[in-house]
Amino acid sequence: MRILLTGSSGWLGSVLAPRLRGLGNDVVGLDPVASGETQIVGSIADRDLVMDTVRQHRIEAIIHSGALHKPNIESHGNSAFVATNVQGTLNLLDAAVAAGVERFVFTSTTSLMISQAIREGFNGGARKAAWLTEQMSPEPRNIYGVTKLSAEHLCRLYHLQHGLPVVVLRTARFFPEADDMAHAIEQSDANTKANELLFRRLTMEDAAQAHVAALAKAPQLGFDIFIVCAPTPFRPQDCDALIRDAPSVVERYFPDFSSLYARRGWSMFASIDRVYDASRARDRLGFVCKTSFADVLAVLREEGAV
């Protein structure tokens, strides 16, 4: 397949592009930042560039991962977010329809489901963790979430009006973002990542693989939105206890976790404020992340056995 990949110089793009090529696809990377994975240095906000690129390269599929995202809020104004994340997405959708592109995958974010109230969590008075599925009505708390949600709506509209097959991946965190590491202050990076695999993280490899799965299934699905996150061991009935005393809930599912953690000098978050439920992706997309919290514990057990 001839694939246009936006955001090809970014973290995700630089893992995804070689993976797509390895599967026998021709990949055209487009990003304003030059890199080995980027053939076209330019912006998705440049409508003519986008239309020409899709037409001239006879693109059959688009994976749209290029964006201004949360760390960019510090350095970019609201207009830049709208130009890139909303107008840029619209340009790609128009180019897709004009050129008869057969599949479109949009990298969205679980962050758009986090309202101010959810974010404030236990200290803000929340009495239970939020159990988040694709059914909830998002109330994004920042320009990043607002523009990503707008882009999702454009994707839905273009499916409705033009029949373009689009899969939206609301991807959880796969890379630490310096502005949002409140928990990390007391925990090491590896400890934080391990904890987050319980409810809000996936590995970069899993994030890339989810895009491969979405690309394969887009024509069959028509339009769908999926949360993509490592599978959580928790259930909705755990939400009360998760916000008050997360370690006791983790202990119920993984009785030896605290001793394994203690050997490393690790600790669990005292409170967990949200859980992303990725079961729709499992059931409809047939995608489950390979790496989960249980795998981290398995490694810790092995280390202890040596």
Ligand X SMILES: NC(=O)c1ccc[n+]([C@@H]2O[C@H](COP(=O)([O-])OP(=O)(O)OC[C@H]3O[C@@H](n4cnc5c(N)ncnc54)[C@H](O)[C@@H]3O)[C@@H](O)[C@H]2O)c1
Identity of the residue, 159 or 201, whose beta carbon is nearer to ligand X in the bound complex: 201
Say whether residue 6 binds ligand X (CB under 6 A).
Answer: yes
CA distances from 168 to 108, 126, 210, 246 (A): 6, 29, 11, 30
Please pick, from the candidates 103, 141, 159, 173, the single residue that binds ligand X as defined by CB under 6 A: 173
Say whether residue 138 binds ligand X (CB under 6 A).
Answer: no
Please pick, from the candidates 3, 45, 168, 289, the single residue that binds ligand X as defined by CB under 6 A: 45
Identity of the residue, 6 or 292, whose beta carbon is nearer to ligand X in the bound complex: 6
- Nearest residue to ligand X on Cβ basis: 10
Identity of the residue, 25 or 43, whose beta carbon is nearer to ligand X in the bound complex: 43
Say whether residue 95 binds ligand X (CB under 6 A).
Answer: no
Residue 132, CA atoms < 13 Å, CB-side half-sphere: 29
Say whether residue 7 binds ligand X (CB under 6 A).
Answer: yes
Say whether residue 27 binds ligand X (CB under 6 A).
Answer: no
Say whether residue 53 binds ligand X (CB under 6 A).
Answer: no
- Least distance (Å) from ligand X to the CB of residue 177? 6
Site for ligand X in 108-137 (CB under 6 A): 109
Identity of the residue, 260 or 272, whose beta carbon is nearer to ligand X in the bound complex: 272
Please pick, from the candidates 31, 37, 134, 238, the single residue that binds ligand X as defined by CB under 6 A: 31
Say whether residue 247 binds ligand X (CB under 6 A).
Answer: no
Neighbouring C-beta atoms of residue 182, cutoff 10 Å: 10
Nearest residue to 94 via CA among 143, 49, 145, 41: 49
**Which segment (41-49, 124-132, 183-191, 263-271) binds ligand X by CB under 6 A?**
41-49
- Least distance (Å) from ligand X to the CB of residue 169? 8
Say whether residue 34 binds ligand X (CB under 6 A).
Answer: no
- Least distance (Å) from ligand X to the CB of residue 176? 8
State the angle between helix axes of 257-264 and 246-253 in degrees (0 to 180), rounded to the nearest 10. Answer: 110
Please pick, from the candidates 25, 39, 53, 65, the single residue that binds ligand X as defined by CB under 6 A: 65
User: Residues interacting with ligand X, by CB under 6 A?
Assistant: 6-7, 9-13, 30-33, 43-45, 65-69, 84, 88, 107, 109, 171, 173-175
